[in-house]
């Protein structure tokens, strides 16, 4: 659940506690170039007030009118499809060939939503199973391997941080990366045993560990929903983390440093039991080349590259045309 959908859940509960009638809308299927992914939320109040989005604004007006006039007075969830034909896609402003199916719950259970909110706030992964025939749903424990599913009879929604970002280093850059990663719904862990960073990251929701990086990674357990980024600029710490990270199923492993620093790092890694392919999986210099010069800009470049890896999108740093410009991830390097 990203920060936008967390806001939808919060607002939906607040409205219902005020005695307002609310319908909860969930994207369950998309085809073509639909703007919002499955699981995206929209809440519609009986007076037409809304929070959230299911299409980036394309179909919301029609959907709100339909919810208020046809669906809110009912008691069972309904499935609504937009954009089947090119004509309808054009009418609703969907990209050519795009379409979206949503499930509308006219009377979501308040107690269940409050339980879900608490579990998400506690960073507990949860599975919400909605029975389309009755409108009843239950909350179960979930894992990162669980996926969103809809078969017409049951909707299975995964809530909570399905993706995890582990940062080695608690410096200023890590602060900004943490903030952006949490907004993007990552569970964030920071590892730094250095005494000067004993107070850790002062951000609610960030787990801080003072163990050595290799011990911490073993304790945390790395899966294919985990990204690991080394940001200390201290080879004694970064390399410890990278040796284990590159052998793990992590979907992304990166390290801060210029191209010269990265080349030296790769040479050091060859001294350990790492294959050519494992060393080649290292993203360095970390982040996309966007001309970043400040820590917040560098954090944007790092999260951009992690996001590309998360979705399997090829990303090119394109540094060759800017040989004279400093690398975004070499800023501050002595």
The string of pLDDT tens digits covering residues 228-275 is: 999 998 888 999 999 999 999 999 999 999 899 999 999 999 999 899
Spatial CB neighbours of 71, under 8 Å, sequence gap ≥ 6: 23, 78, 104, 106
Percent of the residues in the chain that have a pLDDT greater than 70, as a whole number? 86
pLDDT over threshold 50, residue 328: no
Query: 334: pLDDT confidence band, cut at 50, 70 and 90?
Result: very low
Q: Which element (helix H / strand E) includes 78?
A: strand 78-82
54 vs 128, higher pLDDT? 128
Spatial CB neighbours of 299, under 8 Å, sequence gap ≥ 6: 173, 176, 177, 179, 180
Summarize pLDDT for 199-220 with one digit per residue, the tens: 878 888 899 999 999 999 999 9
Distance CA 116, CA 160 (A): 9
CB 306 within 8 A of CB 227: yes
Q: Could you tell me the two tokens for 223?
A: 């899966």
Mean local confidence (pLDDT), 278-300: 93
Mean local confidence (pLDDT), 103-115: 95
Q: Is 26 left (phi over 0), alpha (psi -120 to 50) or beta?
A: beta
Q: Could you tell me the two tokens for 321?
A: 């045309």
Question: Which pLDDT value is given to residue 319?
Answer: 52
pLDDT over threshold 80, residue 1: no
Question: Which pLDDT value is given to residue 85?
Answer: 56
Q: What is the largest CA-CA distance in the chain?
A: 69
Query: 86: pLDDT confidence band, cut at 50, 70 and 90?
Result: low
CATH class of 163-330: alpha beta
Measured from the Cβ of residue 152, the count of other Cβ atoms closer than 10 Å reads 10
Query: 54: pLDDT confidence band, cut at 50, 70 and 90?
Result: confident
Q: Pairing relation of β-strands 186-191 and 50-52?
A: unpaired
167 vs 33, higher pLDDT? 167
Distance CA 142, CA 160 (A): 9
Half-sphere exposure of 152 (CA within 13 A, CB side): 0
Query: 95: pLDDT confidence band, cut at 50, 70 and 90?
Result: low
Helices (H), 248-294: 259-269, 276-280
Question: In 3-state terms, what secondary structure has residue 119?
Answer: helix
Q: Which residues pair with 128 in a beta bridge?
A: 139, 157
Task: Among 45-59, 97-111, 179-193, 246-260, name the one with the lowest average pLDDT.
Answer: 45-59
Distance CA 161, CA 171 (A): 23
CB 279 within 8 A of CB 246: yes
Mean local confidence (pLDDT), 170-185: 92
Percentage helix, strand, coil, to 5, in the chain?
A: 35, 20, 40
Query: 174: pLDDT confidence band, cut at 50, 70 and 90?
Result: very high
pTM of this structure: 0.66
Q: Which residues pair with 157 in a beta bridge?
A: 128
Measured from the Cβ of residue 183, the count of other Cβ atoms closer than 10 Å reads 12
Question: Which pLDDT value is given to residue 27?
Answer: 92
Q: Could you tell me the two tokens for 255?
A: 């390290």
Question: Which pLDDT value is given to residue 314?
Answer: 85
Percent of the residues in the chain that have a pLDDT greater than 90, as a whole number? 56
Question: Which pLDDT value is given to residue 232?
Answer: 92
Measured from the Cβ of residue 273, the count of other Cβ atoms closer than 10 Å reads 8
Distance CA 33, CA 95 (A): 6
Provide CATH 3.40.50.720 ranges for the chain.
Answer: 163-330
């Amino acid at each position: 659940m990203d920060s936008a959908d967390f806001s939808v859940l919060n607002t939906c509960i607040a409205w219902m506690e005020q005695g307002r009638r609310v319908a909860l809308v969930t994207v369950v299927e998309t085809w073509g170039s639909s703007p919002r992914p499955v699981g995206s939320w929209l809440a519609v109040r009986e007076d037409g007030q809304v929070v959230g989005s299911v299409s980036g604004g394309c179909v919301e007006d029609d959907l709100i009118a339909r919810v208020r006039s046809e669906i809110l007075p009912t008691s069972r969830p309904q499935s609504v499809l937009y954009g089947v034909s090119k004509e309808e896609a054009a009418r609703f402003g969907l990209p050519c060939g795009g379409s979206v199916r949503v499930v509308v719950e006219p009377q979501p259970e308040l107690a269940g939503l409050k339980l879900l909110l608490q579990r998400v706030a506690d960073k507990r992964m949860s599975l919400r199973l909605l029975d389309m025939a009755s409108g009843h749903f239950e909350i179960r424990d979930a894992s990162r391997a669980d996926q969103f599913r809809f078969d017409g009879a049951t909707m299975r929604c995964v809530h909570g941080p399905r993706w995890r970002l582990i940062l080695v280093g608690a410096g200023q850059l890590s602060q900004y990366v943490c903030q952006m990663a949490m907004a993007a719904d990552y569970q964030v862990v920071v590892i730094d045993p250095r005494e000067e960073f004993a107070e850790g990251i002062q951000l609610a929701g960030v787990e801080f560990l003072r163990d050595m990086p290799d011990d911490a990674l073993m304790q945390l357990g790395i899966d294919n929903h985990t990204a690991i980024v080394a940001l200390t600029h201290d080879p004694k710490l970064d390399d410890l983390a990278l040796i284990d990270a590159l052998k793990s199923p992590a979907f992304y492993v990166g390290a801060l440093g210029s191209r010269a620093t990265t080349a030296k790092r790769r040479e050091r890694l060859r001294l350990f039991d790492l294959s050519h392919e494992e060393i080649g999986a290292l993203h360095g210099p970390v982040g996309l080349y966007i001309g970043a010069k400040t820590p917040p800009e560098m954090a944007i470049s790092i999260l951009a590259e992690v996001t590309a890896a998360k979705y399997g999108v090829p990303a090119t740093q394109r540094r060759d045309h800017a040989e004279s410009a400093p690398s975004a991830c070499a800023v501050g390097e002595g």
